[in-house]
C-alpha cells in the first residue's frame, strides 16, 4: 500500500502517462477519489485541489474534459454568462480559452482585440471553439497539481467494482483499458463524475433512470406511468470543413440505406425523414425548415437557421489570410441524434451495438450531405465536405465518446422537480405572474444555473420537450444520496428528474455541480465527517456556503428574465 508521502513523490507525471512506479502499483490512496474527468470531474478536482486535497481522478477516454473535448460539444450557456451566473473558476476557463487563441493563433488585429472573442463565431454559444483547445486549457490548469504531485490522473481507466460496508464505500477498483491491469483506489470520500453514473450500480447506491411518473413527481410534463427505459438520445458528434472543388466523399456507410429512408416514429409526429432539412421545432413541434450552406459568404435567409453556422468552431475570416483553409463546423444536430436504444441498464454488448449504430447514423448523415442533400442552388450534395479527424482525435473522425444527455440519477436527499424551476409549472404552483415568478429558493443552495428545459427525442418515442425555465439554484441535497454516506454526485447523476435534467445538464451547470462537490469533499475530509452532515447541521451549512462564496461561487440570482 502506498502511504501519503510515497504517493506524493510518485505522482509527478504528464496527464497523458502514468509514472513508472504508479504503473506498477495496484493500490492507491487519496483524500478524494473522483471517477470521471468530464466537465464536472475536472471542476471537482480543481476545487478539491485548491482546498489542499490529495486527489486521484480517473477517466474512461484518453482526454479529460467530457462534453467539451471527448464528446466534442461547444459550451451551451445562458445569455448572462459573461457577467454572472457561473463560478469564478468557470469564467477563468473561458478566459483561458480566449487567451489560448490570442497566444497561439494568427488572429486578425480587430478580432484579437474583441473582449468577448467567440473563436468559432457560432450562433449556439458565445464561446464556440475547437475541442483540442479546451483540452489544452484544461490540461494547462491541472498541470501544476500534477507536477506538484497533488493530482494523479488515470486516463483510459474504467470503474469495475466496489468494496462497500453498510452505507460506506471503502474502495473502488478501476481497470486499465490498455493493459487490463486493475487498481484499487481508497479514499474517505468518492465523487461520481462519470457520464452515466457508473458508480451507482457498482456501489448499490439507489438510483432512478428514465421518465418518472406524474404520480411520483407531480410534474406537469410527466407521463401517468413511469418509463425507466425512456432516455434522451445520445449523439456521435463530428467536425467537418469544406473544400470547394474537392471530392472528399467517404465510403458509403454500411447502414446508409436504412438511415437515408428512416422516418422517426415519434409522439407527436416527426415531419418526414430524419435525413432532411426539415425537423420538428423543439418548442412548437411544428415542422421547421433549416438550411445548410458551407460556402464562404453564403446567402443568408432571414429567420432560417443555417446549420453550418450553428455550431461553427473555427471561422477562417477571424484569422490572417492563409492561416486557416476554411471554416470548421461541429455536427451535433437533430439529424444525428440516436434514440433507437440506450447505453445504460443494458449489457456491454448491447451498449456497444448502439454506439456502433450511432456512429453509422452520423457517418450516414455526412455521406448524405456529401452526395444527396438538396442545396439552395438546386444542386445535390456537397462532396467538398471533409471529415476533420484531427478535431476529435480519432481515426474514424467521430467523437471519442457519445454525447450523453441523460444519466442514471441518485435517489437524493432532495430532488429538483419541474414545479421548482419550470416557468409554467412554477406559475401554476405559486399563482404568480410571469413578471413576478422566480424559481424555488433553496436554503441549501451551492450554485446557480440557467437553461431552458431542453429534452431531446427519447428512446421511448417522445419528441422534444422544450419549455421555459427560470434561472435556478443548485441545492446541496441534490448532490447527496439518501443512504450512502461518502459518495457525492458531480455530473448529470444528481437528484433531478427526467424533466429537470433538461436544464441541469449543460456545461456551466455541470461545472458548478462538480466544483461544489469538490469543495464539499474537501470540507468533509478536513472535518473527518460525512458530506451529508453539512446539510443536516445549519451552522455547518452556513459556514460551507460562506466558504464557497469566498471561492467565487454564486448561490443566488439577481432578477432576470426566464429562458
Name the nearest CA neighbour of 501 among 230, 279, 235, 281.
230
Helix 88-104 and helix 39-50, axial crossing angle in degrees, nearest 10: 110
Do 49 and 198 belong to one domain?
A: yes
Last residue of one domain, picked from the residues 359, 392, 425: 392
Do 238 and 223 belong to one domain?
A: no
pLDDT, residue 25, reads 65
Q: Which residues contact 195 (CB under 8 A, 6 or more apart)?
A: 36, 38, 60, 66, 401, 404, 407, 491, 492
Do 265 and 319 belong to one domain?
A: yes
Pure H helices in 113-262: 131-147, 199-202, 214-217, 256-261
| Residue 398 domain flag | no
381 burial (CB, 10 Å; 0-12 / 13-18 / 19+) is: middle
Do 263 and 149 belong to one domain?
A: no
341 burial (CB, 10 Å; 0-12 / 13-18 / 19+) is: middle
| Residue 352 domain flag | yes
Do 449 and 535 belong to one domain?
A: yes
| Residue 500 domain flag | yes
Cα 38 to chain centroid distance, Å, stands at: 7
Cα separation, 296 vs 293, in Å, equals 9
Do 238 and 218 belong to one domain?
A: no
pLDDT, residue 562, reads 65
Long-range CB contacts for residues 522-530, cutoff 8 Å, separation at least 24: 522/31, 522/32, 522/47, 522/48, 522/51, 522/52, 522/53, 523/51, 523/547, 524/188, 524/189, 524/486, 525/31, 525/32, 525/53, 525/188, 525/189, 526/51, 526/52, 528/188, 530/485, 530/486
| Residue 123 domain flag | no
CB 31 within 8 A of CB 55: yes
Which cell goes with 435?
Answer: 413578471
CB 332 within 8 A of CB 72: yes
Do 294 and 352 belong to one domain?
A: yes
Do 324 and 461 belong to one domain?
A: no
Do 379 and 526 belong to one domain?
A: no
Do 338 and 462 belong to one domain?
A: no
Q: What is the pLDDT along the chain (563 residues), one digit of tens a residue?
A: 333 333 333 333 345 444 434 545 689 999 999 999 999 999 999 999 999 999 999 999 999 999 999 999 999 999 999 999 999 999 999 999 999 999 999 999 999 999 999 999 999 999 999 999 999 999 999 999 999 999 999 999 999 999 999 999 999 999 999 999 999 999 999 999 999 999 999 999 999 999 999 999 999 999 999 999 999 999 999 999 999 999 999 999 999 999 999 999 999 999 999 999 999 999 999 999 999 999 988 888 888 999 999 999 999 999 999 999 899 999 999 999 999 999 999 999 999 999 999 999 999 999 999 999 999 899 999 999 999 999 999 999 999 999 999 999 999 999 999 999 999 999 999 999 989 999 999 999 999 999 999 999 999 999 999 999 999 999 999 999 999 999 999 999 999 999 999 999 999 999 999 999 999 999 999 999 999 999 999 999 999 999 999 999 999 999 877 66
Last residue of one domain, picked from the residues 364, 392, 420: 392
The count of domains in the chain is: 3
| pTM of the predicted model over 0.85 | yes
Do 47 and 33 belong to one domain?
A: yes
Cα separation, 229 vs 226, in Å, equals 9
> Is the sign of the CA dihedral 338, 235, 37, 524 positive or negative?
negative
Which cell goes with 217?
Answer: 413527481
Do 246 and 330 belong to one domain?
A: yes
Helix 131-147 and helix 39-50, axial crossing angle in degrees, nearest 10: 30
The domain that holds 24 is classified in CATH as 3.50.50.60
| Residue 122 domain flag | no
Concatenating the DSSP letter of every residue in 47-75 gives HHHHTT--EEEEESSSSS-GGGTTT--PP
| Residue 94 domain flag | no
Cα separation, 450 vs 81, in Å, equals 9
| Residue 108 domain flag | no
Domain boundaries, position 29:
4-69+136-202
| Residue 436 domain flag | yes
Amino acid at each position: 500500500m502506498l502511504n501519503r508521502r510515497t504517493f506524493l513523490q510518485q505522482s509527478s507525471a504528464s496527464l497523458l502517462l502514468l509514472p513508472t512506479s504508479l504503473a506498477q502499483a495496484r493500490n492507491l490512496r487519496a483524500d478524494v477519489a473522483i471517477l470521471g474527468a468530464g466537465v464536472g470531474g475536472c471542476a471537482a478536482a480543481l476545487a478539491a485541489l485548491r482546498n489542499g486535497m490529495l486527489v486521484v481522478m480517473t477517466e474512461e477516454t484518453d482526454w479529460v474534459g467530457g462534453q467539451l473535448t471527448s464528446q466534442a460539444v461547444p459550451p451551451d450557456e445562458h445569455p448572462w454568462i459573461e457577467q454572472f451566473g457561473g463560478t469564478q473558476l468557470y469564467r477563468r476557463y473561458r478566459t483561458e480559452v480566449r487567451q489560448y487563441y490570442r497566444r497561439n493563433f494568427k488572429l486578425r488585429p480587430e478580432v484579437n482585440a474583441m473582449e468577448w472573442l467567440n473563436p468559432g463565431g457560432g450562433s449556439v454559444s458565445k464561446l464556440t471553439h475547437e475541442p483540442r483547445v479546451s483540452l489544452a486549457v484544461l490540461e494547462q490548469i491541472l498541470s501544476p497539481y500534477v507536477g506538484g504531485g497533488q493530482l494523479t490522473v488515470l486516463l483510459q481507466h474504467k470503474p469495475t467494482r466496489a468494496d462497500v460496508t453498510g452505507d460506506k464505500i471503502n474502495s473502488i477498483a478501476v481497470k486499465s483499458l490498455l493493459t487490463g491491469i486493475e487498481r484499487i483506489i481508497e479514499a474517505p470520500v468518492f465523487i461520481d463524475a462519470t457520464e452515466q453514473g457508473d458508480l451507482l450500480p457498482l456501489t448499490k447506491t439507489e438510483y432512478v433512470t428514465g421518465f418518472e411518473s406524474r404520480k411520483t413527481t407531480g410534474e406537469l410534463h410527466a407521463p401517468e406511468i413511469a418509463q425507466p427505459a425512456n432516455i434522451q438520445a445520445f449523439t456521435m458528434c463530428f467536425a467537418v470543413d469544406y473544400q470547394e472543388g474537392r471530392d472528399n466523399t467517404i465510403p458509403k456507410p454500411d447502414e446508409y440505406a436504412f438511415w437515408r429512408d428512416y422516418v422517426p416514429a415519434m409522439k407527436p409526429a416527426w415531419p418526414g425523414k430524419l435525413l432532411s432539412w426539415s425537423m420538428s421545432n423543439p418548442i412548437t413541434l411544428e415542422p421547421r425548415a433549416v438550411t445548410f450552406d458551407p460556402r464562404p459568404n453564403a446567402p443568408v435567409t432571414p429567420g432560417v437557421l443555417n446549420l453550418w453556422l450553428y455550431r461553427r468552431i473555427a471561422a477562417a475570416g477571424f484569422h490572417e489570410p492563409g492561416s486557416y483553409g476554411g471554416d470548421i463546423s461541429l455536427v451535433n444536430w437533430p439529424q444525428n441524434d440516436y434514440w433507437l436504444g440506450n447505453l445504460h441498464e443494458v449489457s456491454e454488448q448491447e451498449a456497444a451495438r448502439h454506439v456502433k449504430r450511432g456512429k453509422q447514423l452520423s457517418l450516414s448523415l455526412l455521406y448524405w450531405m456529401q452526395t444527396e442533400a438538396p442545396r439552395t442552388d438546386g444542386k445535390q450534395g456537397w462532396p467538398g465536405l471533409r471529415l476533420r479527424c484531427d478535431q476529435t482525435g480519432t481515426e474514424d473522425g467521430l467523437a471519442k465518446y457519445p454525447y450523453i444527455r441523460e444519466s442514471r440519477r441518485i435517489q437524493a436527499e432532495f430532488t429538483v422537480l419541474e414545479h421548482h424551476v419550470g416557468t409554467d409549472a412554477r406559475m401554476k404552483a405559486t399563482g404568480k405572474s410571469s413578471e413576478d415568478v422566480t424559481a424555488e429558493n433553496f436554503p441549501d443552495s451551492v450554485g446557480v444555473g440557467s437553461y431552458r428545459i431542453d429534452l431531446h427525442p427519447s428512446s421511448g418515442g417522445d419528441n422534444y420537450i422544450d419549455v421555459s425555465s427560470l434561472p435556478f439554484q443548485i441545492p446541496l441535497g441534490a448532490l447527496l444520496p439518501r443512504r450512502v454516506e461518502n459518495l457525492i454526485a458531480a455530473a448529470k447523476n444528481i437528484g433531478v428528474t427526467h424533466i429537470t435534467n433538461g436544464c441541469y445538464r449543460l456545461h456551466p451547470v455541470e461545472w458548478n455541480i462538480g466544483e461544489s462537490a469538490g469543495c464539499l469533499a474537501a470540507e468533509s475530509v478536513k472535518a473527518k465527517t460525512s458530506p451529508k452532515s453539512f446539510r443536516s447541521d445549519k451552522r455547518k451549512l452556513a459556514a460551507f456556503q460562506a466558504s464557497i462564496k469566498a471561492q467565487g461561487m454564486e448561490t443566488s440570482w439577481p432578477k432576470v428574465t426566464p429562458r
